[in-house]
């Protein structure tokens, strides 16, 4: 079984580099994992716009199944409610 693990994507940070995200998408497509595990800090501040960007990116990841776990940054500013809305 091939598992891909991603962590600390921090969508919403000004430092997010689209080229790096594109490289991740290409690599995931290349290795064709059966499971993609994303652990924590998907967003930087838990804002709606951060979750929207993260969801769009995660939807582009090609894998049979995805397991997404929130981190402390995702819970900021009541983001824990948005996490449930976007990923449950």
Query: Mind listing the domains of the chain with CATH numbers?
Result: 3-87 (3.60.21.40)
**Burial tier of 20 (Cβ tally within 10 Å: 0-12, 13-18, 19+):** exposed
d(CA 85, CA 88): 6
Whether the model pTM is above 0.75: yes
Over the stretch 14-47, which tens digit does the pLDDT of each residue have? 766 788 889 999 999 999 999 999 998 999 999 9
Residue 29 pLDDT: 96
Give me the residue label for tokens 């595990």.
37
* Residue 63, CA distances (Å) to 29, 32, 60 in order: 8, 6, 9
Over the stretch 54-77, which tens digit does the pLDDT of each residue have? 999 999 999 889 999 999 999 999
């Amino acid at each position: 079984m091939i598992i891909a693990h991603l962590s600390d994507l921090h969508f919403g940070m000004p430092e997010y580099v689209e080229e790096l995200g594109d490289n991740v998408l290409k690599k995931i497509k290349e290795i064709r994992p059966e499971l993609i595990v994303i652990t924590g800090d998907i967003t930087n501040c838990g804002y709606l716009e951060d979750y929207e960007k993260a969801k769009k990116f995660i939807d582009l990841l090609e894998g049979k199944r995805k397991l997404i776990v929130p981190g402390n940054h995702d819970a900021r500013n009541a983001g824990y409610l948005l996490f449930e809305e976007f990923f449950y």
